[in-house]
Structure 1
């Protein structure tokens, strides 16, 4: 005798109960300078295509010109919002942050305990910025990279986010003296919370660093890989930098654990990293499991 319709429905419900439905970790996205949440619509779309149903939060705040506010001010704001997401997702989250947003996210992940599995730093000036980019020429047409330190390394200048991570290789003593953000985050200057910063940052499971030679904004582009200029403007790779050698903020610890994953992708301009599907599929998606 065949099953009734009601019995078939019960059997189907029982079957669904035992079918494993993929569950993806919450993903936090952070936009770059002068942008809004809409900048990351393509990236959010890629994530939903690849992992349907993923809970994605695009952090909203300090949009447009407000992104020029001091970095610590922005970090304090986003820290409270990210902390709530961490608490709501005890199994861990992923964080994907673009350009200046990558430094903001790094600041958050250094200053609080977190449960981030993968931190994807997408074309972010992690070792600082020193270059005549289009942004710099637009904001300060009367300055060049060689003389803008006169503004940036002042109390007034440090009220600007860009100045907070301006790293002039020709004026390092002044940078160390005046930097109110990057030098502190790197534990290059006195920081009473240096050990806390190091422990928090090095607790990441994966640090994914993405950049490329055709970026056109991050200068040098290798800053996205924690490399930077020396006094001759020769790029010195991450492993030969003092912050790595002395493990000031946990970079060497992460590397020795095999947690750092670097990608060098040619042919991508700065404004296209977050909307390039090839970049997403090769370098971001593998870390969102």
Structure 2
């Protein structure tokens, strides 16, 4: 990505910013027709900003001729789309997207998905909950798969929104009204109070199988051909950055972290990630930059091959 565009992706975030199996997809799709791509933006961004998701869409279209790229718009306008990234219940957003995908005739033979920041865990929820049409590859960029415990570097043009969000999270991230109406609370993960998180988180604790095993979640995710997780080595947005690869703070404190392989989620294989890892379906990539900051050349070299 060009430096200006990369910087704008970072700036937007700092403003507060499905299924046949892959095998059946390979046999049913015309081999000369590119696999469509679905994109979900992050917090404070929108589907079509020419300096962020609009740029990504055009870049993919440039690198893969004739490809169909759907950049998800959550709402009827760009403004609604941005506002919904803060205030629309995530479960409702996922249900809405599942409905959009199911009705899109161009996606019925399968699609690849790219989620940016919180759009990463939201698209993972789509993969787990909505197996038709089939998601082939899932690529997350700075996705907070184990949640966050803080909102560093949130100020900017929307600093008043960030300040309000912080206030609400401090008042009670797991209270019902805040969980229902504040997106960031729905993937807030307090390592100092794991029991409260498991019992009250209405989104993240569910898709991470914290309260029990939903076998369909596990089966659906394991149908992915590849699950690619991009971690940003100098990320100052996500706390902790390890969440981008399914790591998180060890319980009872907020300094030491554990890795995916050290987690109960992996060791008990609650989501199928251990089984996927054994057959090399998991890919862990590193981008040397701050949150969502990468070059056009890096994207073409490291990401485009998964989309072809």
State the TM bucket, normalised to the shorter chain: 0.7 to 0.9
Q: 1:89 to 1:98 in 2, by over 3 A?
A: same
Task: Write the distance in 2 (CA, Å) between the matches of 1:144 and 1:162.
Answer: 10
Q: Select the structure with the greater relative contact order (CA < 8 A; seq sep ≥ 6).
A: 2
List gaps (5 residues or longer) in structure 1: 1-19
Deviation at 1:135, TM superposition (A): 2.8
Q: Does 1:282 align with 2:292?
A: no
Task: Label 1:61 to 1:90 Cα distance change in 2 as closer, same or farther (>3 A).
Answer: closer
| Cα separation, partners in 2 of 1:65 and 1:144, compared to 1, 3 Å | closer
RMSD: 2.4
Per-residue displacement from partner, 1:151-208 (whole Å, max 9, x unpaired)? 21111220211001101111111111211111111111146xx011111111111001
Contact 1:46 1:280 in 2 (8 A): no
User: How far off is 1:143 after superposition?
Assistant: 8.2
Aligned to 1:208, which of 228, 237, 245?
A: 228
User: How many residues were matched structurally?
Assistant: 263
CA deviation after TM superposition for structure 1 residue 121, in Å? 0.7
| Pick aligned residue for 1:234 from 251, 256, 259 | 256
* Alignment map for 1:181-220 (pairs within 5 Å): 181-190=203-212, 194-220=214-240
Secondary structure of the structure 1 residue equivalent to 2:230: strand
CA distance in 1, matches of 2:143, 2:31: 35
Normalising by structure 2, what TM-score?
A: 0.79
Larger Rg: 1
Q: Distance in 1 between matches of 2:38 and 2:151?
A: 31
- Do the aligned residues in 2 keep the contact of 1:100 with 1:125 (CA within 8 Å)? yes
Match of 2:138 among 100, 119, 135: 119
Gaps in structure 2 of 5+ consecutive residues: 1-29, 76-80
Q: How does 1:74-113 map to 2 (within 5 A)?
A: 74-85=93-104, 88-113=106-131
| Structure 2 residue aligned with 1:49 | 62
Deviations 1:27-64 (A, max 9, x none): 11111112111231111122122112211111111511
Q: How does 1:9-20 map to 2 (within 5 A)?
A: none
TM-superposed CA distance for 1:271, in Å, is: 4.5
Note the C-alpha offset of 1:118. Answer: 1.0
